[in-house]
């Protein structure tokens, strides 16, 4: 059974779906030097607004935008929700930890139920009024691709005909910034994926939620179609909490698995949306993987120099950007890349192309590896 995408809600430091795509093609970056927490040093961040976003508010916006884009009418009683997040409501937990002790003896309610780890999925389910399955996967920075893969499975198994799937992230918190800072993974001036002078990642907030449908159902209702999800691959290294496996064995297996399930060969991939975090380890690991598996000259791009690294939501944004690239036959540039360290065909300037198939990659802490193949219809 073919699975297609008929609606998308997206928000990033570049804007909502259409503004994000236009700004990305124009080579703009939403990353700016910000100082959201007075007790921490200013950092380059991909904020949507002046102050850090709230997870549930982002989720609400993404769901409404996706439903409107797909031209669906609520309620969607038989539509499962698969919406994940890596950080979840960590920002709210951090805020609650600073409440005065007297609040715990007050008769006033403490809003802890709105901070549950799966609250983004619950919010989405309540908004569309579903009585179907609700899932909230978490696979670190591969969460977005895991969520879309699970949504794909729910349709191809014949259980459902339509699924709301994606990921949302509001990671601009004191603990997240401090944690990445202690690891030496944060950039000091900006995000420069695959550049020889790259400094590390820049945290960004946002997300993407997609409406997945059986192709037959989409055609029956005359829906517009962004593209088809061909297949996916998901593996884990079991190697280290944050460093990728040196020989990339499991990551290679994820990509190979994805291509086999999609009935595509490496030479049939016309564009790769790389994870491209601008960290030393990831970019080197990913560049070697691409060189090992794909023919020389396949176009490669990372969009994190424009949006920042949206952690668990990054793969969902990547899939949305791949679908727009297939639909409009334009490839997004690798914003921030000036002096490539690796011998790959990085997209540096926007140009019209003829592409049929795209591959989106994500790699997360704990050795999470994910790949999704997409096709233009």
What is the C-alpha to C-alpha distance for residues 171 and 55, in angstroms, rounded to an integer? 9
Strand intervals (E) in 215-305? 227-236, 271-273, 299-301
Q: Is 270 a residue of the active site?
A: no
DSSP letters of 318-346? HHHHHHHHHHHTBPPP-TT-SSBSS-SEE
Residue 306: helix, strand or coil by DSSP? Answer: helix
Catalytic residue (one of 273, 285, 309, 322): 309
Q: Is 309 a residue of the active site?
A: yes
What is the C-alpha to C-alpha distance for residues 57 and 201, in angstroms, rounded to an integer? 25
Residue 219: helix, strand or coil by DSSP? Answer: helix
Q: Is 339 a residue of the active site?
A: no
Catalytic residue (one of 79, 118, 141, 360): 141
Catalytic residue (one of 118, 270, 273, 275): 275
Give me 360's structure tokens: 């989106």
Taking the alpha carbons at both ends of the chain, their separation in whole angstroms is: 14
Q: Are 36 and 47 in contact (CB under 8 A)?
A: yes
Q: Count how many residues are written for the chain.
A: 377
Catalytic positions, written as ranges: 141, 275, 309
């Amino acid at each position: 059974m073919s699975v297609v995408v008929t609606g998308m809600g997206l928000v990033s430091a570049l804007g909502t779906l259409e503004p994000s795509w236009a700004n990305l093609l124009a080579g703009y970056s939403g990353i700016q030097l910000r100082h959201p927490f007075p007790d921490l040093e200013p950092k380059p961040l991909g904020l949507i607004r002046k102050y850090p976003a709230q997870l549930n508010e982002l989720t609400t916006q993404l769901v409404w935008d996706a439903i409107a884009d797909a031209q669906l009418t609520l309620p969607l009683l038989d539509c499962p929700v698969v919406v994940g997040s890596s950080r979840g409501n960590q920002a709210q937990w951090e805020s609650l930890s600073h409440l005065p002790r007297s609040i715990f003896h007050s008769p006033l309610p403490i809003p802890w139920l709105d901070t549950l780890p799966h609250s983004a999925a619950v919010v989405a389910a309540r908004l569309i009024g579903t009585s179907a399955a609700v899932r909230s996967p978490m696979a670190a920075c591969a969460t977005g691709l895991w969520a879309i893969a699970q949504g794909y499975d729910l349709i191809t198994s014949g259980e459902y005909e339509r699924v709301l799937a994606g990921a949302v992230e509001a990671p601009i918190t004191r603990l997240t910034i401090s944690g990445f800072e202690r690891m030496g993974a944060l950039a000091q001036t900006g995000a420069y994926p695959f550049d020889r002078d790259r400094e590390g990642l820049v945290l960004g907030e946002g997300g993407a939620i997609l409406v997945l449908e059986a192709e037959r159902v989409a055609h029956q209702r005359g829906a517009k179609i962004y593209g088809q999800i061909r297949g996916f691959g998901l593996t884990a290294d079991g190697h280290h909490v944050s460093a990728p496996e040196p020989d990339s064995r499991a990551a290679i297996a994820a990509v190979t698995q994805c291509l086999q399930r999609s009935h595509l060969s490496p030479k049939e991939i016309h564009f790769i949306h790389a994870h491209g975090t601008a960290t030393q380890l990831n970019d080197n690991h990913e560049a070697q993987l691409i060189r090992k598996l794909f023919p020389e000259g396949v176009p490669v791009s990372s969009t994190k120099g424009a949006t920042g690294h949206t952690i668990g939501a990054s793969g969902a944004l990547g899939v949305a950007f791949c679908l727009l690239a297939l639909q409009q036959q334009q490839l997004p540039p690798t914003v921030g890349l000036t002096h490539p360290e690796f011998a790959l065909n990085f997209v540096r300037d926007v140009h019209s192309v003829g592409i049929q198939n795209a591959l989106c990659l994500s790699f997360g802490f704990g050795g999470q590896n994910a790949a999704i193949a997409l096709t233009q219809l």
